[in-house]
Structure 1
């Protein structure tokens, strides 16, 4: 996944892994960081762009409609729509275009949906005491979510994670992705250490690395 190299270096990966291992030495909590390329569905983008381009041309040609909508010029319109669609396919690969044509409300909903999916796919919900925490980032939307399992939620209110998310999002906004993950893991660890300190019977139940997915 070459795209991740734009945001995180090999050194960042190592720092994140070392931070998880170090933090989990003091707590029974299990921290799983996940980063995905995008969460929002963008299959509609080429069609929306095609409609927009067609509409723009229709408006632009209105003064000339008397001769453009007669034979033989009228037969060019199907070909033009096909050309617009091909152009739209090329443009729709742009992350900027994708973000432009997905509403903020849809982004929030789909990022949270993807976070919940990754929470289960990465078995964060299967720790013995319900002490798993997911730190989730979706790159295209530049949004972060923290999900905690049932055991943690009984002791820590949702506002706890807002305190962790605020500086994390600031780091992401500045492009400090690696340091942002490290800081978020350490901050989560402080809360977990207080309520779920390490015991002699505790064992590492989940892998200590950053999960990367498209």
Structure 2
């Protein structure tokens, strides 16, 4: 199922950000990315490993890498020709396995299964940090910006809080917001997930960073879709 975020969803998220920020001097910034990486290196690694290992595993079962073309009578002493055909057949099987695994990796679900969870988390984290810096979430007056980042194809959610928040807030408090957004994304309700996560982040920020007398909106409230 391809998740869609409609204009109405974006309006709901923007309203949730504005409402949460009304009670705090902190800033909440939300980004959604369809994918953070093609993971082409992972697909190539799986394909190469399969091409090297699978044909070798077939040898104990009688696979001799016989060239699939030709045939007929041969002189037994023509060992060079026979070995050449066997090697050619083995290479052909390796090429077929490589191509087959590479084609399978084009299926998003298969590609996600091939990619180690730790690698996906690391690349989503890196993409979130890039967005954190690119949109200036780190340059608010009191360093109290929070980025909520969702990677749709990776099925990953990342939350990054700036330095000013780290000094006063236990990072474990963000777990409920991440869990809520993850649950709603799985259910195909991205707007509701963001609304809940934004509300929970706003409550944390309001407790530690109440609004100032002058409380400008330092970051846009709209959802950024990559």
Pick the TM interval, shorter chain.
0.7 to 0.9
Count of residues in Structure 1 that have an aligned counterpart in Structure 2: 210
Query: TM-score of the superposition, structure 2-length normalised?
Result: 0.79
Pairing 1:99–2:99 present:
no
User: Are the counterparts in 1 of residues 55 and 94 from structure 2 also a CA contact under 8 Å?
Assistant: no
Could you tell me how far 1:184 is from its partner in structure 2? 0.5
Contact 2:31-2:149 within 8 A present in 1 as well = yes
Instruction: Confirm or deny: 8 A CA contact 1:34 1:212 kept in the other structure.
Output: yes
Q: Which runs of 5+ in 1 are unaligned?
A: none
Does the alignment pair 1:56 with 2:69? no
- Compare CA radii of gyration and give the structure with the larger one: 2
Is contact 2:14–2:222 with CA below 8 Å preserved after alignment?
A: yes
Equivalent of 2:40 in 40, 43, 66: 43
Taking a change above 3 Å as real, the CA distance of residues 106 and 66 of structure 1, as seen in their structure-2 partners, is: closer
For 1:93-138, what per-residue CA distance to the aligned partner results, in whole angstroms no more than 9, with x for missing partners?
Answer: 2221222222122223332222222211121101111111001112
SS in 2 for 1:65: coil
From 142, 150, 154, the equivalent of 1:129 is 142
Q: Which runs of 5+ in 2 are unaligned?
A: 68-81
Match of 1:22 in 2: 19
Q: 1:34 aligns with which of 31, 35, 43?
A: 31
Offset of residue 83 of structure 1: 4.5
